[in-house]
Amino acid sequence: MDVLELRKKAIQIRKDLLIMIHGAKTGHTGGSLSNTDILTALYYGVMRINPSQPKWEDRDRFIASKGHSVESLWCILADLGFFPKEELATFSRFGTRLIGHPNNKVPGIEMNTGALGHGLAISVGMALAAKRDSKPYLVYCLMGDGEQAEGSVWEAAMAGAHYKLDNLIGIVDRNRLQISGSTEEVMGLEPLEEKWAAFGWNVVSIDGNDMEALKNAFSSIPEVPGKPTLIMANTVKGKGVSFAENAPHWHHHVPNDEELAKALEELAAALERINQKNEVQP
Ligand SMILES: Cc1ncc(C[n+]2csc(CCOP(=O)(O)OP(=O)(O)O)c2C)c(N)n1
Ligand SMILES: [Mg+2]
């Protein structure tokens, strides 16, 4: 997909996830809206995957280490045909496999996640296996910025550099909020880019809600042979819904009927602007 198509797709995914969360009366709305552009760029513009062969040996791997914001991922996997789209209506209901965190019983999910701080270590193992088996696939790991407070992230970072895993891409959804407020108030992270660089990673900083920037960053990998890449994706939590943006309580706030209607209206207007070839981002 080109950048224009990707922007439109991201709007559709935002609509789908809001409807799904509203219906289920539960979900991580803010973080899912924050990472929708990252996932859309990866799944529709970058990753080599085949929905009809989810276990294809040479597929690129995606690990949602910030597993709580699974809603955008469920909507994308359904849209791509990993499972029927109607199944989204079962999200978080009794007996469903579409639970509130990634579940590897669902085609397209590589690993159960949700306890923060574990995805990067698993990704290091997968990337190392690719090197040892001379396989061409890349491993993408999406982490939260609040998640960076977990010590295990940094052990994995060290190992990724030690094994020279230039087939490993870490992405930090740097929305500056975690569950209870600002990351800098809860556990100061800065200077975060310098920390990743000091751990031996090639660091690329971008606007993580800008589809063009995302596509460019992902397509230039491996930028530095022998080094894993860390993409610092500077995002807005709640992106695309004005009253959810940068609002900490939208971490797991469920839109009521009125909020859902207003959000869908805003997203429809954003789509209209794109259709009119207006360059405004959703
Ligand atoms: C090990 C662990 N501790 C605590 C939690 C509870 N928890 C769920 S989401 C969250 C905040 C995560 O913030 P961040 O990583 O910044 O994610 P985002 O802002 O993208 O939602 C926390 C603490 C968890 N899932 N795992
Ligand atoms: Mg965050």
Query: Which residue's CA is minimally distant from atom 17 of ligand 1?
Result: 144
Domain-located, residue 214? yes
What phi and psi, each to the nearest 5 degrees, are found at residue 171?
-125, 130
Mean pLDDT of 257-282: 87
pTM, two decimal places: 0.97
CB distance 137 to 130 below 8 Å? yes
Q: Does ligand 1 come within 6 angstroms of the Cβ of 54?
A: no
β-partners of residue 181 are 178
Mean pLDDT of 269-280: 83
79-124 pLDDT per residue, tens:
999 999 999 999 999 999 999 999 999 999 999 999 999 999 999 9
Domain-located, residue 55? yes
Query: How many A from CA of 174 to the centre of ligand 1?
Result: 13
pLDDT of residue 150: 98
Domain-located, residue 282? no
Query: How many A from CA of 152 to the centre of ligand 1?
Result: 14
Share above pLDDT 90 across residues of the chain, in percent, rounded to a whole number? 96
Taking the C-alpha atoms of residue 217 and residue 92, their distance in angstroms, rounded to an integer, is 34
Whether pLDDT at 273 is above 90: yes
Query: Which residue's CA is minimally distant from atom 10 of ligand 1?
Result: 179
Greater confidence, 282 or 248? 248
Nearest alpha-carbon partner for 231 in 239, 240, 221: 221
- Our count of domains for the chain comes to 1
Q: Which domain holds residue 133?
A: 3-277
Taking the C-alpha atoms of residue 178 and residue 181, their distance in angstroms, rounded to an integer, is 6
pLDDT of residue 278: 58
150-167 pLDDT per residue, tens:
999 999 999 999 999 999
Q: Which atom of ligand 1 is nearest to the CA of 251?
A: 21
pLDDT of residue 279: 53
Q: Does ligand 1 come within 6 angstroms of the Cβ of 145?
A: yes
Domain-located, residue 235? yes
Q: Which residues have beta carbons under 5 A from ligand 2 (an ion)?
A: 144-146, 175, 177-178
Query: How many A from CA of 73 to the centre of ligand 1?
Result: 16
* CA–centroid distance for 120 within its chain: 13
Domain-located, residue 265? yes
Domain-located, residue 32? yes
Taking the C-alpha atoms of residue 66 and residue 146, their distance in angstroms, rounded to an integer, is 9
15-57 pLDDT per residue, tens:
999 999 999 999 999 999 999 999 999 999 999 999 999 999 9
Name 164's Cβ contacts closer than 8 Å, sequence gap at least 6.
226, 227
Share the mean pLDDT of the chain.
96
Domain-located, residue 201? yes
Domain-located, residue 210? yes
Q: What is the CATH number of the domain that holds 245?
A: 3.40.50.970
Amino acid identity, residue 169? I
182-231 pLDDT per residue, tens:
999 999 999 999 999 999 999 999 999 999 999 999 998 878 999 999 99
How big is the chain by its Cα radius of gyration, in Å? 18
Q: Does ligand 1 come within 6 angstroms of the Cβ of 116?
A: yes
Beta strands 61-64; 181-182: pairing state: unpaired
